Structure 1
Amino acid sequence: MIRHSLFFIIGLCPLATVSHAQVQVYDPKRAAERNVEYRVNNKVDQGINRGLDKVEEGIGNIFKKKNKKAQDTKPADDAYTDQQPADGNAGSVSGSSSAGSADNAARPSGAKTNEPVPLKAYSKFDFVPGDKIVAAEDFEQDAVGDFPAKWNTNGSAEVVTIGGKPGKWLMVRKTESTSFIPDFVKDLPDNFTLEYDLVYSGFDKDYAYAQRLYTTVHETKKNDDRITHQAAGRGATFLINGGMGSGNAELLQTNEEGGYTDLRGERDMALAINPDNNGKVFHMALWRQKQRLRVYVDEVKVFDLPRIFPADVKLNAMRFHSDMSEDRNQFFISNIRLAVGAPDTRSKLMTEGKFSTTGILFDVNSDKIRPESYGVLKDIAGTLTENAGVRVRIVGHTDSDGDDAKNLDLSKRRAASVRAALASEFGIDAGRLETDGKGETQPAAPNTSPEGKANNRRVEFIKL
């Protein structure tokens, strides 16, 4: 399932402080090649021997466990908490960073650890994902330790698992002008949304010169053209930069040569991109509507440039690109989701009698709605409010992973959660809402690919 959340409004509200804890990166296949990291791992198990030499200190900086007090100086605005226990795996490589999980959610000021996060924490979140998922990547088909089979690169990265976080992640470490290209992304039409989860680790203001990750959508003749560039043609690139404590972000227009034009936005994000937030799971979303591009980090709209794409541009590729000067600096990427088409809730529900969405997200194997679903729920609630006489049946669906009976029960409970949210958060009369669940029995697509499974994890609204 698609998971979660990425950053902040810098300068308007302070980011949460979080306590630091170990994050373990499990990679049995290549454990024998990592003697240095094994030594660091052993040191962690012994409470971190301060006598490690400077080289190991550099590599192992992310493994330090900092004791942050509850009365930290920055007031909490968003905080995160682990909801998944670390799996026990032989040959683990330990790292440290702030406690975080791909199932984490933004937490309002004053919330206690493990307290449920209310949907209204995302009350200003207006992001609505596209209605059909055309590309999805969670690396489940790839072996731990391998570079993913459906990707291309001029450098190296590998699939790993992270203790305390579900699923698999693409780990990117020390790089110089390196691109990571999902070859299965072939077309980016006038209306699309792109989401993914991000963790960064090992950020240290004292040493690292380069700590940069670019997300680029562009037009190109071949996906691997100018593979050492952030882009290979016209488009846009979103940059986060933590090098030497800079902590800023930029959204830039790219030209035919893969360089930058004068059209760009920049903002300070030093309160978010800093060592205190190592290990957090952030959720990023890009939303294109013709020439316009919005970028969201967690519940906050970070950029909104109405003319960043030329009117005649034909976007047909995307890439992640990184520059990192130290091995201790790491980016982890997962749960990538590209969806196309602008949802038309009102027309489909009122005219066609049915509206289906993959944009209502839940915790793994749970009926708990993720707060980043707020934009979709608000859109549905608006339609129901404008048509006060309409009654609907809410139907939950799952993919085919897991037990049939459990999937059926889960789909019913998820439909009930949506009904409760519409009633409690948006004031929709619960008497207008029936619920049902079909489990995996009515797939919208074959359950043979990440895209198919993602399209099957959906909620339907049927006009009665």
Structure 2
Amino acid sequence: MIANVFHPFPSKPVCLLVASLLFFEASVFAQIRVRDPKTTAERSVEGRVNGRIDQGIDKGLDKVEEGIGSLFKKKDKNKKQEKEEPQSNPTEVSDTGSTSKNSPKSNAQESKSEQPKSLKVYSKFDFVPGEKVIAFDDFSTTNVGDFPLGWNTNSSAEVVTLDDSPTKWLFMTKDGFFQPTYIKDLPENFTLEFDIYNRYVNGNILTYRFLIHASDNPKRDLSDSDIAKSGIYFGWSGGTGEANFSAYEKGEKIIKNDDLSIKELMWDENPAKVRFSIWRQKTRLRIYVNQNKVLDLPQAFDTESKYNVFKLGGRYMNFATADNKDEFMVSNIRYAVGAPDTRSKLITEGKFSTTGILFNVNSDKIKPESYGVLKEVGSVLKENATVKVRIIGHTDSDGEDAANLDLSKRRAASVKSALQTEFGIDPNRMETDGKGETQAVAPNTTPEGKANNRRVEFIKL
């Protein structure tokens, strides 16, 4: 086969150059991999990686016909992209945290209170996370290739990383349910957030879902048979954007909606990452996909039922061929409880603290999903025009002390800038400060402890 391809080129130098081209193209399409080649996670995606390498070789042969000059254009383009899109530091632990103390970029100064343009995209996003983080799971303590502690399943999965990103994902490749056992009580006020990574391959008709329900035995209940007692069901078909929802109360289906169409859940063979945000307030349920509210139901939960199970799952995943499995992964699970009372705590008690204002790693850039919290604070300040506040940033203990102190000050300044720019709050009413890691409210020994320490505090002056 290769001899036939090289036949039109009689000189050895040109043959060598073409061979280099093929190697370059194959390497580009082999980027999606687990980072440790010795782990079982790489073996689990070996078929997919090899298939992409084959695709890369085919495209490389096409490039030969287009001319050798395209190789140099591609190299120039890659160099340009490297300058425009710097790679994440491999030691970064989460999208909301800091790098470890061993990182050469530990809490490096990335920006000076420059807000991302996408912040305004979330202008209708009214999601406000719970007051106290009970669990935060980014799988940072799980080795690649292992099944994480704190999870139960009637199927199989393993933790992987993709490309050169440090983010870890729980990769679910077979039918079944995957239940984080640390979510064992879902009270009348809670929020639950998580990232989903999906890639829809070759028209595989697969369905994904998450369930919240009451169970007499959560460890045993790993099917969907008990959902009809009391619970909610949300499912969607891979790539189509078609979704459906059901709510059950004491064995009776009280709500059904099979006509949901969610553009964020539409994709083809290109990977798509979306963030789900679930918010319960007594009987009320809100579900968001990225910045869009897709459900708002005032009577979805039964006040007499004890909801104690959350689980994710898929169906028909094992119908896909070995080389064409859909990719269904989850990461960055954030579970918090308690209804934040911004107005009462800031105006009456004189102090309000929130973990819901999130930032990029080692940066003062506010994540757009923080818009709901900022909007709440902005509304309180608008309604109380004489009130002045001091905004104080806090970090966890990852990173150097001095760098964390500087980062906390810059993050407080960034919040002040957002309140001024987005909500018209007079900057003369706001002071800023930062305490770094010096005023921890929880041990920095667990992911949820660190999540509670990464906070922004508002003090009435």
Give the share of equivalent positions with the same residue, in percent: 48
Aligned-pair CA distance for 1:395: 0.5
| Correspondence for 1:297 among 289, 293, 296 | 289
1:209-224 to structure 2, matched below 5 A, reads: 209-210=205-206, 212-224=207-219
Structure-2 change in CA distance of 1:167 and 1:179 (3 Å): same
Which deviates more from structure 2 when the two are superposed, residues 271-280 or residues 451-460?
271-280
| Correspondence for 2:203 among 203, 207, 210 | 207
Distance in 2 (alpha carbons) for counterparts of 1:88 and 1:435: 31
Other-structure match for 2:224? 229
Distance in 1 (alpha carbons) for counterparts of 2:453 and 2:95: 20
Alpha carbons 1:135, 1:184 under 8 Å: kept? yes
Structure 1 residue 25 corresponds to structure 2 residue 33: yes
Structure 1 residue 46 corresponds to structure 2 residue 53: no
Name the amino acid aligned to 1:238.
F
Aligned-pair CA distance for 1:187: 0.8
| Correspondence for 2:244 among 240, 250, 256 | 250
Distance in 1 (alpha carbons) for counterparts of 2:262 and 2:277: 20
Which deviates more from structure 2 when the two are superposed, residues 223-232 or residues 320-329?
223-232
Structure 1 residue 265 corresponds to structure 2 residue 260: no
Aligned-pair CA distance for 1:166: 3.8
Distance in 2 (alpha carbons) for counterparts of 1:119 and 1:184: 32
What do the CA deviations read for 1:102-154 (whole angstroms, capped 9, x no partner)?
A: 79xxxxxxxxxxx9324221111111111111111110110000111111111
TM-score scaled by length of structure 1: 0.76
Structure-2 change in CA distance of 1:36 and 1:22 (3 Å): closer
Other-structure match for 1:156? 156
Specify the SS of the correspondent of 2:445: coil
What do the CA deviations read for 1:425-455 (whole angstroms, capped 9, x no partner)?
A: 1010101111111111111100111111111
Name the amino acid aligned to 1:423.
Q
Distance in 2 (alpha carbons) for counterparts of 1:241 and 1:158: 22
Is the radius of gyration larger for structure 1 or structure 2? 2
Structure-2 change in CA distance of 1:199 and 1:228 (3 Å): same
Distance in 1 (alpha carbons) for counterparts of 2:195 and 2:297: 22
Other-structure match for 1:240? 236
Structure-2 change in CA distance of 1:430 and 1:393 (3 Å): same
Other-structure match for 2:142? 142
Aligned-pair CA distance for 1:262: 4.8
Alpha carbons 2:90, 2:164 under 8 Å: kept? no
Alpha carbons 1:291, 1:311 under 8 Å: kept? yes
Specify the SS of the correspondent of 1:446: coil
Alpha carbons 1:87, 1:164 under 8 Å: kept? no
Other-structure match for 1:320? 312
Distance in 2 (alpha carbons) for counterparts of 1:265 and 1:43: 42
Other-structure match for 1:447? 444
Specify the SS of the correspondent of 1:187: coil
1:50-449 to structure 2, matched below 5 A, reads: 85=87, 116-163=116-163, 165-173=165-173, 175-176=174-175, 178-201=176-199, 203-204=200-201, 206-210=202-206, 212-229=207-224, 232=227, 233-242=229-238, 246-254=240-248, 261-269=253-261, 271-276=263-268, 278-323=270-315, 324=317, 325-326=319-320, 327-449=324-446
Aligned-pair CA distance for 1:88: 8.9
Aligned-pair CA distance for 1:354: 0.7
Name the amino acid aligned to 2:184.
K
Alpha carbons 2:29, 2:52 under 8 Å: kept? no
Aligned-pair CA distance for 1:246: 4.4
Distance in 1 (alpha carbons) for counterparts of 2:144 and 2:234: 28
Distance in 2 (alpha carbons) for counterparts of 1:385 and 1:126: 17
Alpha carbons 2:33, 2:49 under 8 Å: kept? no
Specify the SS of the correspondent of 1:136: strand
- CA RMSD of superposed structures (Å): 3.0
Distance in 2 (alpha carbons) for counterparts of 1:277 and 1:84: 25
Distance in 1 (alpha carbons) for counterparts of 2:271 and 2:30: 9
Aligned-pair CA distance for 1:39: 2.9
1:4-15 to structure 2, matched below 5 A, reads: none
Alpha carbons 2:276, 2:288 under 8 Å: kept? yes
Alpha carbons 1:170, 1:332 under 8 Å: kept? yes
Distance in 2 (alpha carbons) for counterparts of 1:406 and 1:86: 18
Name the amino acid aligned to 1:189.
P
Structure 1: which 5+ residue stretches go unaligned?
A: 1-19, 52-81, 90-100, 104-114
What do the CA deviations read for 1:204-253 (whole angstroms, capped 9, x no partner)?
A: 3x53132x2211111112223331227554111221212xx643112211
Aligned-pair CA distance for 1:185: 1.1
Aligned length: 386
Distance in 2 (alpha carbons) for counterparts of 1:86 and 1:395: 27
Distance in 1 (alpha carbons) for counterparts of 2:86 and 2:32: 13
Structure-2 change in CA distance of 1:334 and 1:38 (3 Å): closer
What do the CA deviations read for 1:362-397 (whole angstroms, capped 9, x no partner)?
A: 111110011111111010011111111111110001
Structure 2: which 5+ residue stretches go unaligned?
A: 1-27, 63-83, 97-114
Bigger helix share:
2
Distance in 2 (alpha carbons) for counterparts of 1:137 and 1:43: 35
Name the amino acid aligned to 1:289.
Q
